[in-house]
Amino acid sequence: MPFYIVCQKKKNNPRMDVRICQKKCELKDDCKEYIAFHNIAVQKEDPPISAESQSIQMELAWDKIP
């Protein structure tokens, strides 16, 4: 699913795919929109699931089956 940000440099069509901005824009390190999107994306990443927590989740799932 593509994510878009509003590029302040572009006048006619300011909506830009984040991947294009990430690969081609030289000013992305100073861009408020890109930095804000990147910070949100980092926060949404799930922490890795350990084997122990995965087994607990499986036990809870089995308890819910009628």
**pLDDT of res. 11:** 81
pLDDT of residue 14: 86
Q: Which residues lie closer than 8 Å to 18 by C-beta, 6 or more apart?
A: 2, 3, 4, 5, 34, 37
Alpha-carbon distance of 31 to 18, in angstroms, equals 12
Q: Hey, what long-range contacts does 53-61 have (CB within 8 A, 24 or more apart)?
A: none
Q: What is the pLDDT of residues 11-20, one digit of tens each?
A: 888 888 888 8
- Asked whether the CA dihedral 61, 62, 64, 66 is positive or negative, the reply is positive
What's residue 10's pLDDT? 81
Q: Give the tens place of pLDDT for each residue, 21-65.
A: 888 888 888 888 888 888 887 776 655 555 555 555 555 555 666
